[in-house]
Structure 1
């Protein structure tokens, strides 16, 4: 599954509605609301959790994924050493990361692309990507709105 920076993962585009996602991947294995009343879809086979923001008319705005099939710029990222992933990213000009540690996990956050690589024992175990917020402080939705 290809990660498309600033856009989504695979066929998922930020701004899709729940019905658009179901049309592609079918019904989720689980759906529930988080503490903010956002709708969450979980797809076991895809190893993805999708967040549809309540305050944005339930548009897809955040994806958490841990599939071994995830790739960025043609390189797999899950179960790969973070040093290798960062080396591949540096070749594409992505070098700024904020690092945060908790227990055995570390998060590497790149704000420009709104991505997080979560590692445990120096290997990437989870990837998160969020919709970009533009200069007007609004979400930069990628899915075309049907009129």
Structure 2
């Protein structure tokens, strides 16, 4: 599954509504609301969790994925060491990360593309991608744009 930075993953585009996602992937294995009232879809086979923002008319705004099939700029990332992934990203001009540690996990956040590489024991275990906020401080929704 191809990660499309600033846009989504695979056929998913930021700004889609639940019915758009269900039309692509079928009903989720689980759906629930988080503490902020956002709607969450979980797809087991895709190994993805999708967040539809309550304050944004329930548009898809955040994706968490852990499938070994994920590809970031032509390279798989899940299961590789963080140094290996960062080295591959340097070749694609992605070099800036803010690191946050908690317990056995570390998050490597790239603000420019609004993604997080999460590691445990130095290995990438999860990828998170959020919708971009533009210069007007609004979400830059990709779905439905020409």
**TM-score, structure 2 normalization:** 0.98
1:73 alignment counterpart: 73
Is residue 9 from structure 1 mapped to residue 9 from structure 2 by the alignment? yes
**TM-score, structure 1 normalization:** 0.97
> How far apart are the structure 1 equivalents of 2:138 and 2:79?
34
- Aligned-residue Cα RMSD (Å) equals 1.1
1:48 alignment counterpart: 48
Is residue 106 from structure 1 mapped to residue 102 from structure 2 by the alignment? no
Please list every run of at least 4 consecutive aligned residues from structure 1 whose deviation after the TM superposition is greater than 6 angstroms: none
1:78-102 residue CA offsets vs partner (Å, 9 max, x unmatched): 0001111101111111100000011
2:140 alignment counterpart: 140
The alpha-carbon deviation at position 74 of structure 1 amounts to: 1.1
Question: Which segments of 5 or more consecutive residues in structure 2 lack a partner in the other structure?
Answer: none
The alpha-carbon deviation at position 73 of structure 1 amounts to: 1.1
Question: Which segments of 5 or more consecutive residues in structure 1 lack a partner in the other structure?
Answer: none
